[in-house]
Amino acid sequence: MKPIDYIRIWLACARYSVVRTMMFRFDFIMWALVEFFWMAVNLLLIQVVYDHTDSIAGWSKYQMLLLVGSSMLVQRFIMGFVWTNLFEMARNIRTGHFDFFLAQPGNPLVMVSTRKLDLDGLANAVVAIAVVAYALHQLGIVPSFSGLALYVLMIFCGFLIHYGILLITVSLTFWLGAAQGIEGSYFTLMEFSRLPRQAFKGVTSVLFVWLLPAVVVSNVPASALIHGFNPLNTLWLLAVTLFWLSFAVFVFNRGLRRYASASS
């Protein structure tokens, strides 16, 4: 299949997702509200902590807001574009319905990852963008076009990293038969992306800054907006993206070899 064919299929899937969402409007509103409330919860935490301190690891309130907003943005895109698809993939591997994707003429990973869109997640991406914009406004930062383009690229890298982590977790189903606590592991890791890198010391720094891609995802884009382009940070983010994405694709392909389909 040519790349244009994938785009056509994705557009058809997106259209189908929109129609489906419009059929269950109440559900859409409820889930959009759920995500919105959880975002508000995180913002409230910042407000309360900064009511009692001026800085966390050298980050001021609005810098922190920018950091949390960036982390939210990556998470909303994950929720909007791939979460349901990957979540269902684990179930399909267990039940044998994964055959359906293997029978399609495209790359199984692309087919499985792009089947559905969650509009509630995407609706809240707008809220996350508003949080980032508000933080920038309060900090008096007006990013240049290139600065903004770099930020978008970095958020995209963050998206790919998180996609990789989720894919690895879900691919474990090929071996384990059940990916228990998949949401748990993802959300636990994501929680650390709301903290400034400088707050991590000792073992936690090794684990969450260097070994696991929790901190890099949000800290590098937020720092780029606050302090400008930093080639070392950018390279670090690109390297981490490349590593986790390739590793995830490798794990998925190895898992695929183990897939035995369902007995009939």
Partner 1 sequence: MMTSLAKYRHAFLVGLQSNIVYRWNFGIRALFSLFHLAFVFILWGAAYSGQTDIAGFDLNQTLTYFIVILMMQFFIGAQNEDYQISEDIRNGLINQFLLKPINYYLYRFSIFVAARMVSGLLALIPLIIALPLLKDHIVLPDELWRLALGLPAMFMAAIIQFTIAYIFGLLTFWFLEIQSFIILSLAIETVLGGQLFPLDLMRDRMNWLFNLSQYLPFYYQMYFPTAIFTGRLDQASTLTGLALQTFWVLALLAFAQFLWTRGLRRHTAVGG
* Smallest separation, CB 232 to partner 1 (Å): 23
- The reply on whether position 5 binds partner 1 by CB under 8 A is no
**With contact defined as beta carbons under 8 Å apart, do 151 and 175 qualify?**
no
> Which residue in 18, 44, 102, 262 binds partner 1 (CB under 8 A)?
44
Q: Quick check: 25 binds partner 1 (CB under 8 A)?
A: no
3-state secondary structure of 180: coil
In the bound state with partner 1, the residue whose beta carbon lies nearer, of 45 and 262, is 45
At residue 125, the 3 state secondary structure works out as: helix
Is residue 43 a contact residue for partner 1 (CB under 8 A)?
no
Q: Which of 69, 121, 158, 196 binds partner 1 (CB under 8 A)?
A: 196
126 is an interface residue for partner 1 by CB under 8 A: no
Residue 7 burial (CB count, 10 A):
11
Least distance from partner 1 to the Cβ atom of residue 166, Å:
16
Which CB, 122 or 249, lies closer to partner 1?
122
CA distance 161 to 163: 5
Note whether 49 binds partner 1 by CB under 8 A: yes
How many residues touch partner 1 (CB under 8 A)? 32
Residue 195: CB atoms within 10 Å: 23
Cα 88 to its chain centre, rounded Å, is 17
First-residue to last-residue Cα distance in the chain = 30
What is the distance between the alpha carbons of residues 216 and 164, in angstroms, rounded to a whole number? 14
CA distance 79 to 97: 22
- Give the footprint of partner 1 on this chain (CB under 8 A): 27, 30-31, 33-34, 37-38, 40-41, 44-45, 47-49, 51-53, 56-57, 180-181, 184-185, 188, 191-192, 195-196, 198-200, 204
